Chains A and B, each alone.
Chain A
């Protein structure tokens, strides 16, 4: 586990308090309203799409290793080099080895949370390689020396003015302060970088096992430019991105883009199968795929397996009342919001982000918004319990919990229908006594109903038409 997953910092309580007190951040976060309901509306509007996607993702993760075997074979058949990476360090080393072999000096990167997770940019920089983030938001974050604060919109913690100011300070250039001209400024700044790159690093939104195809989804076209121009491509692909068949994309792609940005389809969806072919005029001569495990495969078969269905759309972040007030940095983790609060402790075996499952009101807005119906709120509750023992997915015997004698006797009595019948009949008659007992114990003991349900039911079905009084 690399230390890059989370940087140490103050407690989540302090960070959230600071975030709420930051007027610039609060002004920027108001923009989240634009996507407040993308996920929820989709989930309500296309329940058919949601349920088939949810089922498809669960079927796939249940057989994860079989699909990964298939994917590896198909990738190799297409001419790609596959590097299975059990952890972050192995993944970073695989990329560095490729870079060394090709004498790489400049890398263009498109946005990929997996590369954030393994701390790839820092590792490449430490090896003396210049890394340029090319996604507009991610580039702003890189120039500022920060980390992304949202899965889809990395610089959601800043206004346009804030982004322009950062560029001005860091580059000393005249930077326009309005969205359209700022975008052109970034375009002009990055064009030469694409042309000069020796290596492009991308992620993949899906990987098709049947054909060995990587699916790269962007709006800006930055990943496509990098892939077309750089002589070598490395794609860092977390294992749960695998989908069995090409046809599965017909469900998953529209679902991902609608939940993420509300678009029918993003501007660019590229299916990459192998490196450049004879006769091709551009594209990488070599394609490397790093298959990243890093704590994922061990979730299969546990109560947290469902988290592997996540397609990283960000809808749960947009819907979460906590995220909407504090933004991603308060979580101090690669993945933030509800999905980050679940994923961070899971991927790190409880060593990181153990306090995050408590930074939630459990209102369930995330569960409602999730396009693949991951019960995020339930998982947060499970984690609160399981994290007490350290690693939430380590097999451990349930501790025999000592129970009070009274509770034990009560459980034994009500386990038998006859005893249950007898005691509830008495309680119904002695309602007043029970009430007094309740007050005396200092607890809110609800008074027993005057007529038991079973009595009401019997009277109703025999006498015909009797009602409870």
Chain B
């Protein structure tokens, strides 16, 4: 049986704003602040109908090359993202291209969807699996991630309580663009992974 997060994604957006009341709004604000502090761009929250256009815009910052899809097709299709990207003239790379890493490496943008997000640590939580290769958010120069507002959890403890790590070979917590501080203990963005990270909050 598909793990809970896959079912949630297939069934389309299950935005339940106000699930945690004021605390939840506070969490979204905190997530935004912490991601920005780590060098990420954060947009939204935008309502679901506006999400596709917003993704196109975030992808436009890296115009030279294809957009690789890695969020599970159902979800992105529910938001109308692939259609909008195609209409904007972007070439799309299907997740199966992970078999040909060179194609992914040539893509300008890797597009993912987060299963959860953690406000306290400023993290996006991605699970590997069918339609969701690990390389999509590692090889292209820009990583664009769609996060449902209802998927934001205030603390790491709360997020971990919802995860069974055995349900995927890799769960990745992404908390900023690839970075190093190996040189004189000063931060430089963009080492082996993406040079930039853009997050779109939906809901």
Binding site for B on A (CB under 8 A): 28, 31-32, 34-35, 78, 134-137, 140, 153-156, 159-160, 163, 179-180, 182-184, 186-187, 190-191, 194-195, 208, 211-213, 219-222, 224-225, 227-229, 246-247, 249-250, 253-254, 261, 263-277, 279-283
The reply to whether the CB of B203 lies closer than 8 angstroms to some CB of chain A is no
Contacts of A213 in B (CB 8 A): 165-166
Of the candidates B131, B156, B174, the one whose C-beta lies within 8 Å of that of A249 is B156
Give Cα distance in the complex from A208 to B168, angstroms.
Answer: 15
| Residue from A195, A208, A267, A273 within 8 A of B193 (CB atoms) | A267
- For residue A194, which residues in chain B have a CB less than 8 angstroms away from its CB? 192
Q: Which residues of B contact A272 (CB under 8 A)?
A: 169-170
Task: Kindly list chain A residues whose C-beta atoms are within 8 Å of the C-beta of B191.
Answer: 136, 183, 186-187, 219-222
Query: Which residues of A sit under 8 angstroms from B133, Cβ to Cβ?
Result: 228, 280-282
Binds A, one of B47-55, B56-64, B93-101: B93-101
Contact of B163 among A78, A154, A195, A246 (CB under 8 A): A246
Interface residue ranges of B124-144 to A (CB < 8 Å): 128-135, 138-139
Chain B residues lying within 8 Å of A134, measured Cβ to Cβ, are 192
- Nearest Cβ on chain A to B126's Cβ, whole angstroms: 9
In the assembled complex, B15 has its CB within 8 A of some CB on chain A = no
In the complex, whether B175 has a CB less than 8 A from a CB of chain A is: yes
Asked if A250 and B157 sit within 8 Å, CB to CB, the answer is yes
State which of A179, A186, A283 has its C-beta within 8 Å of the C-beta of B134: A283
Q: Which of A182, A247, A264, A280 contacts B122 (CB 8 A)?
A: A264
> What total of chain B residues lie within 8 Å of the partner, measured CB to CB?
59
A268 & B170 in contact (Cβ 8 Å cutoff): no
Partner among B34, B135, B175, B185 whose Cβ is within 8 Å of the Cβ of A34: B185
Does the CB pair B160–A221 fall under 8 Å? no
The interface stretch among B18-26, B73-81, B176-184 is B176-184
Contact for B130 among A160, A187, A228, A281, CB less than 8 A: A281
If A183-B190, A221-B192, A277-B168 touch, whether A265 touches B122 (CB-CB below 8 Å) is: yes
B171's closest neighbor in chain A, by CB? A271
- As a 0/1 sequence over residues 141 to 170 of chain B, the CB contacts with chain A under 8 angstroms (1 = contact) are 000000000000001110011011110111
Taking the closest CB of chain A, its distance from the CB of B75, in whole angstroms, is 16
Closest A residue to B176 by beta carbon equals: A267
Chain A residues, CB < 8 A from B163: 246, 271
Residue on B with the closest CB to A134?
B192
- CB-CB under 8 A from A183, the residues of chain B are 180, 183, 188, 190-191
- Report B's interface with A, CB cutoff 8 A: 34, 37-38, 95-96, 98-99, 101-102, 105, 118, 120-123, 128-135, 138-139, 155-157, 160-161, 163-166, 168-186, 188, 190-194
Shortest C-beta distance, B130 to chain A (Å), equals 4
**Interchain CB contact under 8 A, B181 and A273:** no
Cβ B95 vs Cβ A270 within 8 A: no
A48–B80 Cα distance when bound, in Å, is 46
Give every chain B residue within 8 A of A190 (Cβ-Cβ): 192
Q: State which of B128, B129, B131, B173 has its C-beta within 8 Å of the C-beta of A265.
A: B173
Query: Which residues of chain B come closer than 8 Å to A249, judged between CB atoms?
Result: 156, 160
Which residue of B has the minimal Cβ distance to A278? Answer: B130
In the complex the two chains form, is A250's CB within 8 Å of B193's CB? no
A32 to B: closest C-beta gap in Å: 7
Partner of A268, one of B37, B99, B161, B172: B172
A-B contact sample (6 more), CB < 8 A, given A220-B193, A265-B118: A31-B186, A32-B185, A219-B181, A253-B156, A270-B173, A280-B169
Q: Is the CB of B138 within 8 A of A224?
A: yes
Within 8 Å by CB of A220, from B38, B184, B192, lies: B192
- Bound together, the chains give a CA A434 to CA B186 distance in angstroms of 62
The 6 closest A-B pairs by CB, nearest first: A221-B193, A137-B182, A281-B133, A281-B98, A250-B157, A265-B121
What is the bound-complex CA distance between A180 and B179, given in angstroms?
A: 11
Q: What residues of B have a CB within 8 angstroms of the CB of A32 in the complex? A: 185
Are B170 and A159 in contact (CB-based, < 8 A)?
no
Closest CB of chain A to B163's CB: distance in Å? 7
Pick the residue among B129, B165, B176 that contacts A271 (CB under 8 A): B165
In the complex, 6 of the A-B residue pairs with CB atoms within 8 angstroms, ordered by the A residue number, are: A134-B192, A183-B180, A183-B183, A267-B193, A281-B130, A281-B133
